């Protein structure tokens, strides 16, 4: 059988079949048209080993001698004894191109009654998508334990970077040398998880933002999962991921099938920014991607300026203050007003009401209409917070339907069944139960039909621990049922945008983002924390999908205080909004908010369509990041000082990503004399710590893109936890 070669955007994927099974011979740099005889590239046979070359298959198997992590684990039960048909010998049945950019490979083992169809697509951006579908072709049930997706990485990929975190500190990078053995990251949260790695990247020594070869993967699944790198003693390495299934969670009846989530993979020969480019192009080419006015190919409405009420009023829902907040928001130019938690029956705090998705008649005797009218009459959209997958014991629905509450036992807690531990005083409603699913759908559907709601902030505030349906583990079923709920509501209300919020960034993945229009990257609005959270969330997700809000001067999650200019510049590089009682903002703070909102509205077409750029700087506490337009005609950059610098002066910072042969005008647009002095809780000071500024700071400078990249821009001496916003325009 002839090999299959997929090529796109400088990337090649080469599949060979000369051993009788499918194997990926190469994933990486483009190989060109001419290919040698691939059978000559079979591995040698060393001493003290199997007598034939060991194949690292598309689905690694013990039947081919693979001693590492297997791609398939499963078995059948015979006469009540488990463990039969534990090792399949999948061999090629067919392999063919599916259009110019995709391939479909079918492998089967009639003896164990297993068939696996693998779909591979290398899209126009160079992003590779892989998915397996396993069919039970046997005559008895097949218990599936794991079906993994793996890709080979070469021996010069010697460093591994992944992301981790916790609540209010999501998506922080960690890096280590690749050593022999299997490195595994397990996510057992029943959701993606605050500590989940949005990206796992293997690269050449010292790979960075703008240099080095990188092979990176993302697993598009919102439930339990594992990500791993298998590094064998023979030198081969496999980068992979799989759904982490509970004991007996997936049992396939004869003829039934299971499909893995998609593994999204990107190769870059110019560092992590090259990986980011591939993901951004893929996102923005989707038909359901949010349209961006002013962006290339974007003809829809621009991403609106948001005000969310949580950190303004918390559970204090009274119409008069909320209308005052709406008036204040409209004066600043807000375009979307979102009412957060606390509007529904019995919800005075976080101990009651979840599941009772009816407007609280005590708080809202006329319903939400008076507030919605106050918002929409001022030219803003109205949005609403919901948490449809959760339930409080102190709720009408829990009292009426205790069997809808998820627990590890088959019996409901009213009948002696044990519940999992509480989390924020709440449990999970069993969406795998058709009646419970229909109830939730009907209630959210009614809210959207009966009210002028343009946006849902969809929260999910707890892990799915001990998650079961009918006494068996069911995270898999719950995740699919949640997806169906999103899909059904989207189909019925296509005009309504949905944000995925999961106590911040605990459900950020490409599975949920096939159904939602943005994510809430973190419950932390501290601008210093957000610099890292947003940088690494945006390693995969384009900024138009990442909510970024100006929080209060005093951050309630960290206790830190920051200037309004630092908070504003940080929030600019995302889907901009505010989460703050802006009625209490000082005159100076409101003036800066008016300026940054005007800057956002002027440049959101650029911010939400351009190329993300992260400079490589030697000083770890100094960052320079920005967005360059696709045609290279304009850019916005932020120079950020996170903490004190080792040197007295930051020195020259090269500005990457510009057209080297064009001439550009560089200007500082915030803070300027309009914003100075900055104030923090009434204390006025300058963010600059210098006797004289760099000569260009007050009037700008003109230079070629090559000069700006190689010689760089002399930065002013900024205080720690401050930023400078730069505008770059071709002249």
Q: Active-site residues: which are they?
A: 459, 523
Beta carbons of 251 and 301 less than 8 angstroms apart = no
H-run or E-run covering 252? strand 250-252
d(CA 55, CA 290): 43
In 3-state terms, what secondary structure has residue 281? Answer: helix
DSSP codes of every residue in 624-649: EEEEE-TTSSEEEEEEEE-S--SSSS
d(CA 482, CA 503): 17
Strand 306-308 relative to strand 575-578: parallel, antiparallel, unpaired?
parallel
d(CA 585, CA 581): 7
Output the CA torsion sign for 477, 478, 483, 487: positive
Burial of 355 (0-12, 13-18, 19+ CB in 10 A): buried
* DSSP summary character for residue 621: T
Beta carbons of 712 and 701 less than 8 angstroms apart = no
For residue 120, which of 31, 60, 58, 36 has the smallest C-alpha distance? 58
In 3-state terms, what secondary structure has residue 134? Answer: strand
How far are the Cα atoms of 688, 708, 725 from residue 672, in angstroms, in the given order? Answer: 11, 22, 10
Rounded to a whole number, what is the distance in angstroms from the first to the last CA of the chain?
A: 56
Please give, one letter per residue, the 3-state secondary structure of 360-429.
CCCCCCCCCHHHHHHHHCCCCEEEEEECCCEECCECHHHHHCHHHECCCCCCCHHHCCCCCCCECCEEEE
């Amino acid at each position: 059988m002839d090999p299959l070669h997929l090529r796109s955007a400088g990337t090649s994927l080469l599949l060979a079949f000369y051993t009788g099974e499918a194997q990926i011979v190469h994933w990486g740099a483009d190989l060109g048209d001419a290919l040698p005889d691939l059978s000559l590239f079979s591995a040698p046979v060393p001493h003290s080993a199997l007598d034939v070359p060991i194949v690292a298959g598309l689905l690694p198997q013990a039947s081919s001698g693979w001693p590492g992590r297997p791609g398939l684990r499963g078995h059948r039960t015979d006469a009540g004894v488990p463990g039969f048909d534990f090792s399949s010998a999948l061999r090629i049945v067919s392999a063919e191109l599916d259009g110019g950019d995709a391939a479909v490979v079918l492998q089967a083992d009639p003896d164990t009654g297993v068939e696996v169809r693998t779909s591979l697509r290398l899209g126009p951006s160079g992003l590779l998508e892989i998915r397996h579908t396993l069919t039970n072709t046997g005559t008895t049930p097949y218990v599936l334990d794991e079906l993994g997706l793996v890709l080979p990485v070469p021996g010069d990929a010697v460093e591994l970077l992944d992301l981790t975190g916790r609540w209010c500190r999501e998506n922080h990078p960690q890096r280590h040398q690749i050593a022999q053995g299997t490195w595994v990251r397990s996510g057992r949260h029943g959701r993606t998880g605050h500590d989940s790695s949005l990206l796992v990247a293997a690269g050449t020594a010292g790979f960075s933002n703008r240099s080095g070869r990188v092979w990176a993967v993302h697993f598009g699944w919102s439930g339990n999962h594992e990500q791993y790198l298998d590094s064998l003693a023979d030198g081969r390495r496999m980068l992979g991921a799989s759904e982490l299934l509970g004991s007996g969670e997936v049992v396939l009846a004869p003829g039934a099938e299971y499909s893995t989530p998609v593994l999204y993979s990107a190769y870059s020969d110019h560092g992590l920014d090259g990986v980011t480019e591939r993901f951004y192009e893929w996102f923005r080419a989707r038909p359901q991607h949010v349209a961006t006015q002013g962006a290339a190919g974007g003809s829809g409405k621009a991403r609106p300026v948001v005000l969310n009420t949580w950190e303004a009023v918390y559970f204090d829902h009274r119409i008069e203050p909320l209308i005052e907040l709406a008036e204040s928001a409209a004066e600043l130019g807000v375009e979307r007003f979102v009412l957060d938690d606390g509007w529904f029956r019995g919800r005075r705090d976080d101990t009651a009401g979840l599941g009772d998705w009816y407007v609280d008649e005590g708080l809202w005797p006329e319903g939400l209409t008076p507030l919605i009218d106050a918002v929409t009459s001022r030219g803003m959209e109205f949005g609403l917070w919901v948490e449809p997958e959760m339930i409080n014991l102190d709720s009408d629905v829990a009292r009426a339907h205790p069997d809808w509450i998820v627990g590890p036992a088959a019996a409901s807690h009213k009948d002696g069944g044990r519940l999992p531990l509480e989390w924020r005083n709440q449990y999970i409603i069993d969406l795998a139960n058709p009646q419970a699913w229909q109830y939730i759908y009907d209630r959210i559907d009614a809210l959207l039909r009966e009210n002028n709601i343009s946006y849902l902030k969809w929260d999910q505030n707890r892990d799915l621990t001990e998650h079961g349906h009918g006494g068996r583990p069911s995270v898999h079923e719950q995740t699919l049922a949640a997806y169906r709920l999103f899909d059904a509501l989207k189909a019925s209300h296509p005009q309504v945008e949905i944000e995925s919020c999961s106590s911040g960034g605990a459900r950020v993945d490409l599975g949920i983002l096939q159904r939602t229009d943005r994510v809430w990257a973190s419950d932390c609005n501290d601008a210093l924390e957000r610099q890292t959270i947003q940088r690494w969330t945006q390693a995969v997700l384009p900024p138009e999908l990442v909510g970024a809000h100006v929080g209060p001067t005093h951050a309630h999650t960290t206790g830190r205080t920051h200037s309004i200019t630092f908070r504003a510049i940080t929030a600019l590089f995302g889907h901009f909004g505010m989460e703050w009682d802006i009625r209490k903002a000082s005159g100076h703070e409101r003036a800066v908010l008016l300026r940054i909102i005007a800057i956002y509205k002027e440049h959101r077409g650029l911010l939400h369509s351009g190329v993300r750029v992260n400079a490589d700087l030697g000083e770890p506490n100094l960052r320079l990041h920005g967005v360059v337009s696709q045609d290279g005609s304009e850019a916005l950059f932020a120079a950020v000082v996170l903490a004190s610098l080792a040197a007295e002066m930051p020195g020259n910072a090269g500005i990457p990503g510009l057209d080297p042969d064009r001439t550009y005008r560089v200007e500082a647009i915030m803070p300027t004399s309009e914003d100075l002095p900055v104030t923090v809780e009434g204390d006025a000071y300058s963010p600059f710590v210098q006797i004289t500024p760099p000569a260009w700071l007050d009037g700008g400078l003109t230079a070629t893109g090559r000069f700006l990249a190689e010689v760089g821009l002399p930065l002013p001496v900024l205080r720690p936890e401050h930023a400078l916003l730069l505008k770059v325009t071709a002249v």
